[in-house]
């Protein structure tokens, strides 16, 4: 027993000696280098690397020197009425309180906000955001040399959040160079210049983080364009309206929004592409309004279930969820709700922003060819584009239209295939939400199972099922209609519904894989 232990120990000793000899042999040929896992000193950069970094730094300096003089600070002053804090006199005669407000019961208290802009012409035209100058009673523009001017609004467009203002009497002004955002690539260096948090003429650097971003929370109506450039260059309140500049010193976007839980910079900033801003600016200066061409549709992103139901090999395109009105050009051309637009004007449509980008280069009255997938069938339409109405109706969500506690399940019916429960729309809800006849006839969803396929696609006490588009077409006016539509659908297949969203006060198309 002891002899076996001794033999094993002797073998282990031989192996250790052989290993050390191997290391010494390898080190003699410079094959092995001994070092700590964490080096105390980092390797020095090469001369070429140092030169490259210096060149980038010099480029940033040159851009800041060239562009900053054309950036302006904008102060927006609004005169908001402030009611008197005095209590109403219960013994006053009728109309007395209104009379007193006219003579001082209500005072005009100024409210101020600030933003940025940049000069695009030597005679004083300035490009900025609509939300920077909206509802202004007075606009004051400050230049880098501290001169101040009162500006006037030339025009503004809420659907793109672009505005043009003008100052006079400033002489020969410095101007920016407008570039081409289409040539910008993800990963390229950019600079953001503006007046964040009261820190005038601040320059920050970052890269283009993404392109073609949509921000649903900023959408105001069916005509809003969502096609942002995303950047990690620091953008904060006050940066709005300032330029996003590429490494050549050309403006490729207007800094407009941030994504943050706090309202301050959290690594995500968004800019309006300058090609879109330039088109809007030219129309505002020439016509005083934007003459933008539209298909006349409401569109949604395509989901995996949408793509499967449409017969698409890839998850791409833009889904038609509604028409803007009965005169919609797309509707007149023969398109239908539920169609997936895959090409427009000869351009492949990958996302909702890419469709908007393809159409915005055209003028009202021009005709474009649109290709769609309709539940396995490819169809082509020639659509004569219309102009955005002068005052498109704004959709305002009511906080009471979800039904609340007043919606009591009456004649409720559950569907395990979808994982939801429905009932006829209560008359009280229909009146309160001012539902159309079409919506009143539908089925209100009262419960959605967290384990069912409709979870996070449909919403209880908010969505009303109006019709089925695929695999059969059927109006849904009662539970029997939905029974019939679901009867022939098997597990794994897709059903496409049109629902009315009482919170958004609009219809949308939802595809669900059972």
Give the integer Cα–Cα distance in Å for 454 and 278: 42
Please answer whether residues 302 and 341 qualify as being in contact, where contact means their C-beta atoms are separated by less than 8 angstroms. Answer: no
Please answer whether residues 495 and 287 qualify as being in contact, where contact means their C-beta atoms are separated by less than 8 angstroms. Answer: no
Pick the catalytic residue: 240, 256, 298, 511? 240
What per-residue string of b and e applies to 479-505 under the rule 16 or more CB within 10 Å gives b?
Answer: bebbeebbeebeeeebbbbbbbbbbeb
Question: Which has the closest alpha carbon to 191: 19, 60, 52, 83?
Answer: 60
Question: Which has the closest alpha carbon to 356: 284, 290, 295?
Answer: 295
Question: Which has the closest alpha carbon to 280: 388, 179, 155?
Answer: 155
Give the integer Cα–Cα distance in Å for 304 and 310: 10
Residue 66 annotated among the catalytic residues of the structure: no
Give the integer Cα–Cα distance in Å for 132 and 139: 10
Give the integer Cα–Cα distance in Å for 267 and 234: 7
Q: Is 407 exposed, middle or buried (0-12, 13-18, 19+ CB in 10 A)?
A: middle
Give the integer Cα–Cα distance in Å for 228 and 268: 11
What per-residue string of b and e applies to 107-117 under the rule 16 or more CB within 10 Å gives b?
Answer: eeeeeebbbbb
Pick the catalytic residue: 161, 232, 283, 339? 161
Per-residue tokens: 300: 């949604």
Residue 471 preceded by cis peptide, ω within 30: yes
In DSSP notation, 457-482 reads TB-TTTEEEEEEEESS-EE-SSHHHH
Give the integer Cα–Cα distance in Å for 115 and 256: 10
**DSSP H helical segments within 2-121, as ranges?**
2-28, 47-67, 96-100
Give the integer Cα–Cα distance in Å for 512 and 309: 9
Question: Which has the closest alpha carbon to 492: 303, 311, 319, 305?
Answer: 305
Give the integer Cα–Cα distance in Å for 271 and 398: 30
Residue 240 annotated among the catalytic residues of the structure: yes
Pick the catalytic residue: 73, 131, 209, 283? 131
Question: Which has the closest alpha carbon to 304: 296, 314, 295, 289?
Answer: 314
Give the integer Cα–Cα distance in Å for 366 and 368: 7
Give the integer Cα–Cα distance in Å for 434 and 96: 36
Count of C-beta atoms within a 10 Å radius of residue 347: 14
Residue 232 annotated among the catalytic residues of the structure: no
Give the integer Cα–Cα distance in Å for 253 and 244: 5
Catalytic residue list: 131, 161, 240
């Amino acid at each position: 027993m002891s002899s076996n232990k001794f033999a094993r120990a002797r073998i282990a000793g031989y192996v250790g000696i052989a290993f050390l000899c191997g290391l010494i042999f390898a080190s003699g040929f410079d094959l092995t280098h001994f070092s700590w896992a964490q080096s105390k000193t980092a390797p020095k950069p090469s001369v070429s690397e140092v030169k490259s970094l210096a060149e980038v730094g010099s480029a940033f300096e040159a851009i800041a020197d060239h562009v900053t003089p054309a950036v302006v600070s904008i102060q927006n002053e609004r005169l908001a009425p402030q009611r008197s804090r005095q209590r109403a006199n219960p013994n006053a005669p009728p109309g007395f309180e209104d009379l007193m407000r006219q003579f001082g019961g209500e005072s005009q208290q100024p409210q101020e906000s600030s933003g940025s802009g940049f000069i695009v012409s030597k005679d004083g035209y300035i490009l900025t955001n609509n939300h920077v100058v909206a509802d202004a009673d007075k606009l004051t523009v400050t230049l880098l040399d501290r001169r101040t001017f009162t500006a006037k609004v030339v025009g503004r467009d809420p659907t793109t959040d672009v505005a043009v203002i003008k100052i006079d009497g400033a002489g020969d002004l410095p101007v920016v160079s407008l570039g081409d955002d289409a040539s910008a690539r993800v990963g390229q260096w950019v600079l953001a210049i503006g007046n964040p948090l009261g820190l005038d003429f601040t320059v920050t650097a970052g890269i283009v983080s993404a392109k073609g971003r949509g921000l649903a929370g900023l959408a105001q109506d069916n005509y809003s364009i969502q096609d942002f450039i995303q950047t990690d260059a620091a953008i904060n309140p006050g940066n709005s309206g300032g330029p996003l500049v590429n490494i050549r010193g050309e403006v490729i976007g207007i800094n407009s929004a941030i994504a943050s839980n706090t309202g301050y910079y959290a690594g995500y900033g968004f800019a309006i592409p300058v090609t879109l801003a330039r088109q809007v600016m030219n129309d505002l200066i020439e016509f005083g309004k934007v003459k933008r061409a539209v298909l006349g549709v409401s569109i949604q992103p395509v989901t995996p279930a949408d793509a499967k139901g449409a017969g698409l090999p890839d998850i791409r395109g833009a889904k038609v969820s509604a028409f803007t009105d009965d005169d919609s050009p797309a509707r007149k051309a023969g398109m239908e709700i539920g169609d997936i637009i895959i090409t427009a004007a000869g351009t492949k449509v990958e996302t909702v922003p890419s469709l908007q980008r393809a159409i915005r280069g055209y003028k009202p009255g021009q005709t474009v060819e649109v290709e769609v997938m309709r539940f396995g069938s490819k169809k082509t339409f020639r659509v004569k584009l219309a102009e955005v109405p002068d005052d498109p109706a704004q959709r305002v969500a009511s906080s009471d239209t979800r039904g609340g506690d007043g919606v009591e399940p009456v004649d409720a019916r559950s569907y395990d295939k979808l994982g939801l429960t429905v009932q006829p729309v209560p008359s009280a809800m229909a009146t309160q939400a001012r539902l159309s006849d079409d919506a009143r006839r539908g089925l209100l969803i009262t419960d959605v199972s967290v384990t069912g396929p409709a979870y996070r696609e449909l919403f209880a006490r908010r969505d009303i099922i109006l019709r089925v588009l695929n695999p059969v077409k059927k109006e849904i006016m009662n539970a029997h209609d939905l029974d019939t539509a679901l009867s022939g659908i098997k597990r794994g297949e897709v059903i496409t519904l049109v629902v009315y969203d009482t919170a958004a006060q609009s219809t949308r198309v939802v595809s669900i894989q059972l």
